[in-house]
Amino acid sequence: MASLVYLLGAIVTAMCAILLLRGFIRSRGRLLLWSGLCFAGLTLSNALLFVDLVLLPPEHSLYMWRLSTAAGAMLLLVYGLVFESE
């Protein structure tokens, strides 16, 4: 059951990233770009969560990779909010 939740989280964030980036292509709003890139990074983080907790054995951990991708994604959004706001 937990693996299903991890997969659904990755799918939902991927759909959000696709919709935000598609909105950026249509309207060229810079904040949509940074939000889409943030959600793309969060999708990668959620995919790593699934791989780490479901596919890999317990002696291997992707904990730092998961945290660093999520932090990088959030930094993209913060950059967009701070430097691209009008």
pLDDT, mean over the chain? 95
Burial 9-27 (b: 16+ CB within 10 A, else e): bbeebbebbeebbebbeee
CA dist 40 and 44 (Å) reads: 6
Regarding pTM above 0.85, the answer is yes
CA dist 48 and 66 (Å) reads: 6
Domain segments of the chain as ranges? 2-83
- Average pLDDT, integer, range 46-62: 94
Longest CA pairwise span in the chain (Å): 48
- Average pLDDT, integer, range 65-84: 95
- Per-residue model confidence (pLDDT) at position 4: 96
CA dist 6 and 38 (Å) reads: 18
% of the chain exceeding 70 in pLDDT: 99
Cα angle 80, 85, 86; round to 5: 155
